């Protein structure tokens, strides 16, 4: 069971993008426990980017302890709320800069490298 997906939109460099966040509790994708997914798309295209955040060593997502939408890196406590449009825009900008956003079709990838690009880990 996951949270209800609310479709939202944002504009980046004159291009309209849709986005939604959802949190899921299952084991179907090869990961035990929860996952948080941020999906971005161009409404006039089949291009979709899914940024998936799973709990991992030194990485936390919403799991009852943190608020829904939370993605956190330990031990420095770097935090993004994936419900916040400014954070979504920053992740989209980074995905576009790094060439992750597909021209067509769906690309699914871990969101942690983009998180680290936005909030570089301490040395």
pTM metric for this prediction? 0.87
CA dist., res. 25 & res. 45, Å (int): 29
Task: Over range 29-38, report the average pLDDT.
Answer: 76
What is the per-residue pLDDT across 68-116, written as a single tens digit (0 to 9) for each?
A: 899 999 999 999 999 999 999 999 999 999 999 999 999 999 999 999 9
Q: Three-state DSSP class for 92?
A: helix
The DSSP secondary-structure symbol of 113 reads H
Alpha carbon of residue 70 to chain centroid: 10
Q: What is the pLDDT of residues 91-100, one digit of tens each?
A: 999 999 999 9
What's the DSSP call for residue 56?
Answer: B
């Amino acid at each position: 069971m996951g949270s209800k997906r609310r479709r939202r939109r944002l504009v980046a460099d004159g291009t309209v993008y849709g986005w939604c966040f959802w949190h899921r509790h299952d084991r179907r994708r090869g990961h035990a426990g929860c996952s948080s997914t941020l999906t971005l798309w161009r409404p006039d295209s089949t291009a979709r980017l899914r940024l998936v955040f799973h709990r991992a060593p030194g990485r936390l997502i919403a799991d009852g302890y943190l608020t829904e939408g939370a993605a956190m890196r330990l031990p420095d406590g770097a935090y993004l709320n994936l419900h916040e449009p400014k954070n979504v825009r920053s992740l989209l900008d980074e995905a576009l800069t790094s060439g992750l956003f597909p021209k067509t079709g769906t690309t699914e990838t871990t969101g942690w490298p983009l998180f680290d690009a936005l909030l570089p880990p301490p040395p």
